[in-house]
Amino acid sequence: MVVKGRRNMPASNLRFPRFIFILLCLFSWPVQSALSETPALSVATFQIDATPPLGSPLCIGMRPPAVAIDDPLSARGIILLPARQKPIVLVAVDWLGISNAGHDAWREAVAAAAATTIDRVSVHVLHQHDAPGCDFSAYQIAAEYGLADKLFDLEFEKQTIARAAAAVKQAIARPQTVTHIGAGKAKVEKVASTRRCLGPDGKVKYVRYTSCKDPKIRAYPEGTIDPYTKVVSFFNGDKPIVLLTYYATHPQSHYGKGHISADFVGLARSLREEALPGAAHIHFNGAGGNIGAGKYNDGSPKYRAILAGRLAQGMTAAWEKTERFPIEDAAIQWDTREVALPPSSRLNEESLLATLADEKESLQEHLRSARELAWLRRCESGHTISIGRLRIGRVDILHLPGELFVEYQLAAQKMRPNSLVCTAAYGDRGMAYIGLASSYTQGGYETGRASRVAPAVETVLMKAISELMQ
């Protein structure tokens, strides 16, 4: 054999480099094999019972305590394990709200169990009203006035957090490989409608809430909603492992009688579990702060099953329209922004403390003042709210706080027109409702009495959302 530009060498000299090459290949093969066997993404799921004992306060003391269980509540979540990244944990709880130091406690416990950082944990509620709330900051304030046990069952909630953390630790030891991601959406018919019916002057004339018996008010148009339910699914081959579903609305049908229930969103989730067993089903409430079922629900018990069926039908259609793509084609990114939300000008510590001390005030006003003071003090301490965005290929999932108006969700979708954009709102609920700047000039319950943030919140949140959606 003649090598151009070189003199002939003995065959033994030519074989020596080949021998070295073979040895190098043999020694490097286990490393290459291990790298090739490391999946781009694995997932694990967990689910625990989150039903409070009978006698527990519901709706943070704003409704009668629990006297019966119509159907159980759960806390469930997904742990994403991307190659060469720390775990990402997304949690959905069948509670009214998790706020302030209560939200901190959930995230800290889950982060520790998953061996990740707190900024990679997002905890949300579905906001059922026949369910407990959680606000350790308000609890501490209420305790000073002998009212703590009127908010929620503290020991039960601490135990629930501990059980959720234990479930995360167990689940993460049994991950499943993801080969494909699925994305689909479909319309939901006759469920969501605007709660804020405006008059000719542009002001709120009626608040339709989530049930409405007045046919004149129910006759108002649906208004601005997001009519789509969306599903993001994770597959191992042809087998679905997890389905994440999203829909924006207040989830109440009939409520306030002390009967614990996951309501129609929980029942719709159960219907999908029955239709597609073997896969974990985790539902998130979208930006439904100004949306409810009031146009299509008169509050009678029969509408719980009717609304559940309609939502489940939309979820089924979204699943059937799902398009799959290989996980290798999808970059996995988690990004967050810390935002300081401006507190409402109506919140005043001196006034709130006076209400708490006034024995003539109602229990509801006492508890409301404790919650509002908890939020005000958080803001004044410089506390920030973490919002997140999970991007997997052409899927973007936004994780946002509070009872967010649907316009935020619709704006985010316009920022990524070629992606399936899903929104999980009802994260930290310390600030309650979050309207647009213009909403605060319109009156109405949400921005007139219940919101704990100032109109400037729109500028702060839209900026952060825009940065995340780039």
Model confidence band, residue 467 (pLDDT cutoffs 50, 70, 90): very high
Q: How many CB atoms within 10 Å of residue 2? A: 8
| CB-based contacts of 100, cutoff 8 Å, min separation 6 | 135, 136, 137, 138, 374, 375, 378, 428, 430
Average pLDDT, the chain: 93
HSE of 147, CA atoms in CB hemisphere, 13 A: 25
Domain annotation covers residue 15: no
- Give pLDDT tens digits for 317-365: 999 999 999 999 889 999 999 999 999 999 999 999 999 999 999 999 9
- Give pLDDT tens digits for 228-279: 999 999 999 999 999 999 999 999 999 999 999 999 999 999 999 999 999 9
Domain annotation covers residue 367: yes
Nearest to 69 by CA among 102, 94, 97: 94
Model confidence at 11: pLDDT above 80: no
Q: Are 63 and 96 in contact (CB under 8 A)?
A: no
**So what's the pLDDT on residue 38?**
81
**So what's the pLDDT on residue 8?**
38
Domain annotation covers residue 35: no
β-partners of residue 332 are 392
Domain annotation covers residue 8: no
Q: What is the mean pLDDT of residues 405-432?
A: 98
Model confidence at 21: pLDDT above 70: no
**So what's the pLDDT on residue 7?**
35
Angle between helices 363-380 and 136-143 (to 10 degrees): 120
Domain annotation covers residue 7: no
Q: Are 213 and 362 in contact (CB under 8 A)?
A: no
Domain annotation covers residue 32: no
Range of the domain at 431: 41-468
In Å, what is the CA distance from 69 to each residue of 50, 257, 260, 272?
Answer: 12, 11, 5, 21
**What are the structure tokens assigned to 375, written together?**
């939020």
**So what's the pLDDT on residue 321?**
98
Nearest to 287 by CA among 79, 144, 151, 124: 124
**Considering its fold, how many domains does the chain have in total?**
1
Spatial separation of the C-alpha atoms in residues 106 and 122, rounded to whole Å? 9
Domain annotation covers residue 23: no
- Give pLDDT tens digits for 207-234: 999 999 999 999 999 999 999 999 999 9
Domain annotation covers residue 196: yes
Model confidence at 19: pLDDT above 80: no
Nearest to 242 by CA among 49, 421, 90: 90
